Structure 1
Amino acid sequence: MKLITIFLEMATFIILIPSVQSTLSHTSLLEQICRQSPHYHLCTMTLRSSINHRSKEDIAGFARLTLEIVKANASLTLEHVQKGYIQQTNGLEQKRAMRDCIALYNMIVNVHLREALNAMEKYDYKIVKQRVYAASIQAEICENKFKNSLTKPLKDTNRYVQNLCIIAASIVNKLLLQNHLTSAY
């Protein structure tokens, strides 16, 4: 009986070692990536919450994950604006700004981020970077639509999308640098 208990403890220990090592290597890579990002805390907070759902991560995996998170958040913003914000908005100028933001977020979700994710699958990191920057600019344009308004209902969302795009672009820059270095040899 004691031999079985020892065997089970050893088997459990052996099974846990690779997952702990995997998490440690993910965590150290995540730390390295996020330290080089302009928004360290947002990067670590966002990516760390999703790291355990993946069995293997590399720099491209973190870039893809960041793009998926940006797309999910931008999609939620688009949905909320379409369903509720526009009815709750007072004034013609604010309603016009909200309609413009709907068009901008449609571009972010259905064009820029979709193309970025497709380009990730093709390892075309230049296109990924271009599309991510375009999405960031679209969120900034949305925010500027409210510059003359007393209330800025999408300020936090726009900033969040912009910052996540900047994080994604910084990760993609690492991929571009890696590709440049490997193609030089």
Structure 2
Amino acid sequence: MKVSSFSNMIILLTISSIFFIQSIQCVPDKIDNVCQKTPHYQLCLLTLKSNLYSHRLKTNQDISEFVRVTLQVIAARAPAVLEQIRDIDAQTDHTQLKTALDDCMIAYGKITKEIIPQALNYVDKRDYVGVKERANFAGSLAESCEKKCKGTTSSGVSPLGDNSQFVQNMCSIAASIASMPQSNP
């Protein structure tokens, strides 16, 4: 009897682990399918695969959580860009750059405190049109900031480095995912 109950336990564990492993294997495929439909495939893939929460999603779940993850990445990065802008502003005497940085502080303040929190609220409400609009707006503000800063230097290189471009790219990924059908992609 003990051998039989032990055998049953082994069989039960084997069967349950097969289902568990299949669901884990399907999520990366789903991440790949979603990211292929975005304008920045590699960045999307890196972002979603490196986020542990993305790996806990069920295979039959809609992709709203992928949108949430990208917005949370923007929500984490935008305040760092805002701080970088403040630091550069404090260190420069260049009038044209200071003017551009002032505009950027306003833009990144909006991105940080208004736009991305609104987009996350739209995800909760499953209003993907609102998510897309907010993500596109945040991306436009980041792009405008980048252009203003590039125009103030003789080299044409932004003093913000790649940080503002990263925010722009993440915004376009979020908007792209929000545009996808909200069932399995």
Shift in alpha-carbon separation, 1:53–1:170, aligned structure 2, 3 A: closer
Which stretch of structure 1 is more off in the superposition, 120-129 or 88-97?
88-97
1:100 pairs with 98, 103, 115, which one? Answer: 103
Equivalent residue, structure 1, for 2:75? 71
Question: Contact 2:85 / 2:101 at 8 angstroms: preserved in 1?
Answer: yes
Higher helix proportion (structure 1 or 2) = 1
Question: Contact 1:112 / 1:135 at 8 angstroms: preserved in 2?
Answer: yes
Provide the aligned C-alpha RMSD in A. 2.6
Question: Contact 1:60 / 1:175 at 8 angstroms: preserved in 2?
Answer: no
Equivalent residue, structure 2, for 1:62? 66
Equivalent residue, structure 1, for 2:25? 24
Q: Aligned partners of 2:94 and 2:101: how far apart in 1? A: 11
Shift in alpha-carbon separation, 1:170–1:47, aligned structure 2, 3 A: same
Q: How does 1:116-155 map to 2 (within 5 A)?
A: 116-146=119-149, 147-150=151-154, 151-155=157-161
Q: Aligned partners of 1:125 and 1:41: how far apart in 2? A: 23
Where does the alignment leave 5 or more consecutive residues of structure 2 unmatched?
none
Q: Aligned partners of 1:87 and 1:7: how far apart in 2? A: 70
Give CA-to-partner distance per residue, 1:24-56, whole Å, 9 cap, x none: 121011000001111111110111100456522
Local SS of the residue matching 2:46: helix
1:111 aligns with 2:114: yes
1:169 aligns with 2:165: no
Q: Aligned partners of 1:93 and 1:37: how far apart in 2? A: 35
State the Cα distance separating 1:99 from its structure 2 match. Answer: 1.8
Which stretch of structure 1 is more off in the superposition, 124-133 or 20-29?
20-29
Shift in alpha-carbon separation, 1:99–1:19, aligned structure 2, 3 A: farther
Amino acid at match of 1:50: N
Equivalent residue, structure 1, for 2:88? 85
Identity, % of aligned pairs?
34
State the Cα distance separating 1:155 from its structure 2 match. Answer: 4.0
How many residue pairs get aligned? The number is 175
State the Cα distance separating 1:10 from its structure 2 match. Answer: 6.6
Shift in alpha-carbon separation, 1:6–1:173, aligned structure 2, 3 A: same
Question: Contact 2:100 / 2:145 at 8 angstroms: preserved in 1?
Answer: yes
Equivalent residue, structure 1, for 2:163? 157
Shift in alpha-carbon separation, 1:80–1:92, aligned structure 2, 3 A: same
Q: Aligned partners of 2:80 and 2:105: how far apart in 1? A: 12
Tell me the TM-score normalised to structure 2 length. Answer: 0.82
State the Cα distance separating 1:149 from its structure 2 match. Answer: 1.6
Tell me the TM-score normalised to structure 1 length. Answer: 0.82
Question: Contact 2:120 / 2:131 at 8 angstroms: preserved in 1?
Answer: yes
Question: Contact 1:125 / 1:175 at 8 angstroms: preserved in 2?
Answer: no
